[in-house]
Structure 1
Amino acid sequence: MNKFLKIVGAVTLINIVARVFGFFREAVIGYQYGSSRIADSIFTAYNIPNFLYLVIGGAFTTAFISIYNRKKTDQALFIKQSFTIVALTGIVMTIVILIFTTPILNLIYQKTDLTVEEFQRTKHLFYWMMPSSILLMLSSWYSGLLNVNSKFHLSSVAILIYNVFFLIIGVVFSNIIGPIAYGISALASAVIMMFFLIRGYRQLDSYSVGLSFVRTHSTRDLWIMVFPLAIGGGTVQIYAMLQRFFAAFLGLGDSAVAVVNYASRLTQFPQSILITAVTTVIYPILSRKEAEDDHQSIKGLYGKGLHYLLLLMGPVTIYSYFYAESLVQVIFEYRKFTAEDTAITAPVVAILALSMFFLAATMYITRFYYAKGDSMAPVVLSIVNVFIINIGAMYFFADNGFGADAIAWGTLISSVTNTLMLIAYASFKYDLKLGDGLNKVELLKPIVPLITLTCIMYISSEYLVFDYKWVTFIVGIVIFTFSTIMLYMLFRIKEINQVYIKLKSKFIKTK
């Protein structure tokens, strides 16, 4: 477990830097275009390529890792087979979507009064961004290839490179040629990331990558796994896709798409850093443990992993809820992003913040289903929650005048029910319990400090508000950090004490 945590920690640090650049890109777009139609165009055009990368590319990558680790798999052949399948799938999907660009955009904007110029701008951005889908899906596959070779850091560094170049190219050229620069930067940064991953894999001197149209049981299993993995494993990304689509489709206002995008990016930031690091490392390990029939280790990872997730995400959720307005102000409220934009974005952030732990837990738990070879249960539960409960809740709240908040309420309600269903079924079917690897005292210990932290953050957010937004933000961060650490230490949360002892041994030399 200690080795696992060290690896996760290293990958997390890289992911933090990578996500900061990706998040900063969103902040810069807010600075340049606020919640205007131009910002809507950029986010709408990037929506589908990003979705294909994270959901379809992620599904192929997860299936590849699972099949690659099986004893009967011809690994050298399967690398070529899977590369061919991913490449052709990316090409075909991209071509089909490009052909139907106009009908797709008409569907998204059917309840929005876009001018011809605004529609054409979105269309041109879309034409630039969509070809990057092929490279992004292949990059996801290469990341999986590196991960099965325990080169977890390279896949994380690749995301960092992508976000850095996406930001730099977009910002520099947008000052020259306008918002179309973000379309160009999306394609260029995907090329650069792909080059880095290919170069990194070639240095391993492992099996060669190439084309193979040979059909075996491995290719059959790959196709069988991909669809359910895309639905069940891409829950967070599917939520993001539906949020942006229904923000426009339900006619929630001219700025609804941009508002929902800013809010979802803000709340996805902490959960993406953690859960990407954990799933990057844990799934290859889980696949090997399952192949070795080491069920005890799997149960320990399940219980302790969810425990760590609560310890980390719980405080972040509490802070994000009470300081939603402060976060939006210091990150987005500059130039064309006005106080009015903050007023409509902050409530969406606060509601989405409450879903952060549940979305992260859902992604974490589904990896255990996949390690067990069960890709159907997460699919069925995701369809029920994401496509029925979520959409139903969005319609209900939209009809009752909640505006953009309706999108956030749909996400919160369905993410809670999805997580609870996954936990219940895992307990019934695979005997995976929340307390596996923990005693009852350790399991219940976080409750009191988290309740106490909630009270502290409520009081500070209500009564320690200053005229200068950065003072309010800094005071809130200081109180949050100090309170979290002291409460965890006061209530003897073992993990915090372990970190304290290690830091003390490194920086305080005993005589």
Structure 2
Amino acid sequence: MKNLVFKNFIINALGILCSRVLGLVRDILIALFLGAGLYSDIFFVALKMPAFFRRIFAEGAFGQSFLPNFVKARKKGAFCVNIMMQFSLIVLLFCLLVSFFSSFFTKIFAFGFNQETINIASPLVAINFWYLFFIFLVTFLGAILNYKQKFFITSFSAAFFNLSIVIAAFFVDKNYPLKTLYYFSYATVLSGVAQLILHLIILKNNPVIKAMILSIRLKKSKTKMKSFYGNFFHGVLGSSATQISSLLDTTIASFLISGSISYLYYANRVFQLPLALFAIALTQVSFPKILKHIKSNQEVLASKFMQKAMAFLSILLCVSSIAGSIFSLEICQLLFQRGNFTREDSIQTAYVLIAYLAGLLPFGLQKLLSLWLYAKFKQKTAALIAFKALFISLLCSIAFVILIKDENLKVIGVAFSSSLSAFYLLGANIKEFGFKKFFGLISFRFCFLTIIALIIFAAMLYLTKPYILNLFIWIYMGIKG
């Protein structure tokens, strides 16, 4: 991996790390004030809606379609003006629609909620959904920064969302959870405004922004959009499949014991830390590089780049899975077990976390391999793969919920279904990439030595776990004393 790419990965990872650390602080505070029950389930459903459409229209389909078409566009300023104006209007109208019919949309996202719970949740859904409008603009501006190989601002700006919840926590009381929900919801929207302002400040002298302004002044914003929308709508299908899977998990969990939605949320938040820090950070900086090689008909260089990226990512994700599984309970206790979040909640969340971590490696690798499809403008193929994975996840979730008799174990089955679908995603992406080409990237000697090293690492970590915990307790008591 070239030095520039590695440097960009480190910079991007640091930005994501800042955001995720603040995210964990945010989740600690949510667990403190809302626990794992009715009010936390309501808040997570209210957050789920803008997050769902954000990953479809912003980070997902939009991000996968915008950059390849932006690179090809001759009139980049005109292209960006068209995209920004058309999508901003669509997202704005959508936000208004959800605001006026919030009860209907809440029922879709939490079908298991009774009418009383729907009545409490719907105003919060209406407030939180406006975050989508601001975050679309942030994603659009962030894509322009990524084109210039500047990744830190966008990855770091997500910390504003977490920071806003942390600040709001200073003004709430755990004895008034409903009031807390409103404070957290307004803080969510304001964080989107803050992220947008930051990007506008950073991009004020950017040549692409200047080209956009010039295009508007000269009224020459007409440009071909057919290719973009074709890729975008296929990207919407692919991204929506992943998000529908998450939505269905929430919907299924709403029928299970109280707190099930929260267990999935808290465990997934921990799971997302290594996934974002390593897989997402690496894929974000890799995409422009792969695009450049493929556009220049240098597939050999692109393949060599993929080889190094895959080896690097695999080791990081395997180490994270092993350490996260062995210390799952301790992680959940350290992060969440305080206030309204009990020890029983920690145990349940820890088991759900292990179920998610089983799919960390395939989830991460398929993200990297899917870049090849997007760079080749095969968004339709990626969409079909994603929907097949959605179907597998749904069938497994329903099967586990029906077959498992213990109510506490059903939610673990839902999380494990997600991991099973990740293995299909990886296999399908390898097939599209080419089995021969894929196995040509793998050094079996390196794989064998890595597996042996990981087995030794897992055994040593498990055997030394009591001593590691005692060391942390000794350090904690020393600091406290």
* TM surpasses 0.5: yes
Q: Contact 2:24–2:335 (CA<8 Å) still a contact in 1?
A: no
Q: Contact 2:253–2:260 (CA<8 Å) still a contact in 1?
A: yes
Q: How does 1:16-415 map to 2 (within 5 A)?
A: 16-58=17-59, 59-70=61-72, 72-113=73-114, 116=116, 118-168=117-167, 170-175=168-173, 177-208=179-210, 209=212, 216-217=223-224, 219-233=225-239, 237-248=243-254, 251-386=255-390, 388-401=391-404, 402-415=409-422
Taking a change above 3 Å as real, the CA distance of residues 186 and 294 of structure 1, as seen in their structure-2 partners, is: same
Q: Given residue 342 of structure 1, which amino acid in structure 2 is its aligned partner?
A: S
CA offsets, 1:413-438, max 9 Å, x none? 1111111121122115xx642542x6
Taking a change above 3 Å as real, the CA distance of residues 6 and 142 of structure 1, as seen in their structure-2 partners, is: same
Question: In the aligned structure 2, how far is the partner of 1:159 from the partner of 1:450?
Answer: 33
Tell me which of 431, 435, 438 is aligned to 1:433.
438
Question: In the aligned structure 2, how far is the partner of 1:193 from the partner of 1:264?
Answer: 24
CA offsets, 1:35-74, max 9 Å, x none? 021111111101011122222202212211111111x532
Question: In the aligned structure 1, how far is the partner of 2:475 from the partner of 2:108?
Answer: 40
Question: In the aligned structure 1, how far is the partner of 2:165 from the partner of 2:220?
Answer: 34
Q: CA deviation at 1:407?
A: 1.1
Q: CA deviation at 1:233?
A: 4.9
Taking a change above 3 Å as real, the CA distance of residues 235 and 187 of structure 1, as seen in their structure-2 partners, is: same
Q: Contact 2:50–2:129 (CA<8 Å) still a contact in 1?
A: yes
Taking a change above 3 Å as real, the CA distance of residues 256 and 383 of structure 1, as seen in their structure-2 partners, is: same
What secondary structure sits across from 1:178 in the alignment?
helix
Question: In the aligned structure 2, how far is the partner of 1:426 from the partner of 1:183?
Answer: 42
Taking a change above 3 Å as real, the CA distance of residues 291 and 35 of structure 1, as seen in their structure-2 partners, is: same
Q: Given residue 455 of structure 2, which amino acid in structure 1 is its aligned partner?
A: I
Q: CA deviation at 1:375?
A: 1.0
Q: Contact 2:78–2:223 (CA<8 Å) still a contact in 1?
A: no
Question: In the aligned structure 2, how far is the partner of 1:205 from the partner of 1:49?
Answer: 31
Taking a change above 3 Å as real, the CA distance of residues 228 and 469 of structure 1, as seen in their structure-2 partners, is: farther
Question: In the aligned structure 2, how far is the partner of 1:106 from the partner of 1:160?
Answer: 30
CA offsets, 1:111-142, max 9 Å, x none? 3446x3x4333112112111111111111111
Percent identity of the aligned residues?
Answer: 16
Q: Contact 2:245–2:394 (CA<8 Å) still a contact in 1?
A: no
Question: In the aligned structure 1, how far is the partner of 2:192 from the partner of 2:159?
Answer: 11
Q: CA deviation at 1:456?
A: 2.6
Taking a change above 3 Å as real, the CA distance of residues 344 and 440 of structure 1, as seen in their structure-2 partners, is: closer
Q: CA deviation at 1:215?
A: 5.6
Taking a change above 3 Å as real, the CA distance of residues 213 and 396 of structure 1, as seen in their structure-2 partners, is: farther
Q: CA deviation at 1:163?
A: 2.8
Q: Contact 2:56–2:239 (CA<8 Å) still a contact in 1?
A: yes
Taking a change above 3 Å as real, the CA distance of residues 472 and 420 of structure 1, as seen in their structure-2 partners, is: farther
Question: In the aligned structure 1, how far is the partner of 2:276 from the partner of 2:474?
Answer: 26
Q: CA deviation at 1:394?
A: 0.2
Question: In the aligned structure 1, how far is the partner of 2:439 from the partner of 2:240?
Answer: 23
Taking a change above 3 Å as real, the CA distance of residues 77 and 247 of structure 1, as seen in their structure-2 partners, is: same
Q: CA deviation at 1:235?
A: 6.6
Q: CA deviation at 1:310?
A: 0.8
Tell me which of 417, 420, 423 is aligned to 1:416.
423
Q: Contact 2:78–2:222 (CA<8 Å) still a contact in 1?
A: no
Alignment coverage as a number of residue pairs:
461
Question: In the aligned structure 1, how far is the partner of 2:353 from the partner of 2:137?
Answer: 33
Aligned to 1:498: none
Q: Contact 1:465–1:472 (CA<8 Å) still a contact in 2?
A: no
User: TM-score, normalized by length of structure 2?
Assistant: 0.89
Q: Contact 2:45–2:110 (CA<8 Å) still a contact in 1?
A: no
Q: CA deviation at 1:26?
A: 1.4
Aligned to 1:497: none
Taking a change above 3 Å as real, the CA distance of residues 73 and 404 of structure 1, as seen in their structure-2 partners, is: same
Taking a change above 3 Å as real, the CA distance of residues 231 and 450 of structure 1, as seen in their structure-2 partners, is: farther
Task: List alignment gaps of at least 5 residues for structure 2.
Answer: 477-481
User: TM-score, normalized by length of structure 1?
Assistant: 0.84
Q: CA deviation at 1:318?
A: 0.7
Q: CA deviation at 1:286?
A: 1.8
Q: How does 1:5-24 map to 2 (within 5 A)?
A: 5-24=6-25
CA offsets, 1:151-187, max 9 Å, x none? 222222322334323432x313334942211110011
Q: Contact 1:358–1:419 (CA<8 Å) still a contact in 2?
A: yes
Q: Contact 1:174–1:180 (CA<8 Å) still a contact in 2?
A: no
Question: In the aligned structure 2, how far is the partner of 1:32 from the partner of 1:163?
Answer: 15
Question: In the aligned structure 2, how far is the partner of 1:277 from the partner of 1:234?
Answer: 21
CA offsets, 1:332-362, max 9 Å, x none? 1111100111122111111111111211222
Q: Contact 2:8–2:149 (CA<8 Å) still a contact in 1?
A: no
Taking a change above 3 Å as real, the CA distance of residues 434 and 174 of structure 1, as seen in their structure-2 partners, is: farther
What secondary structure sits across from 2:378 in the alignment?
coil
Question: In the aligned structure 2, how far is the partner of 1:472 from the partner of 1:427?
Answer: 52
Q: CA deviation at 1:84?
A: 1.4
Taking a change above 3 Å as real, the CA distance of residues 422 and 180 of structure 1, as seen in their structure-2 partners, is: same
Question: In the aligned structure 2, how far is the partner of 1:435 from the partner of 1:289?
Answer: 19
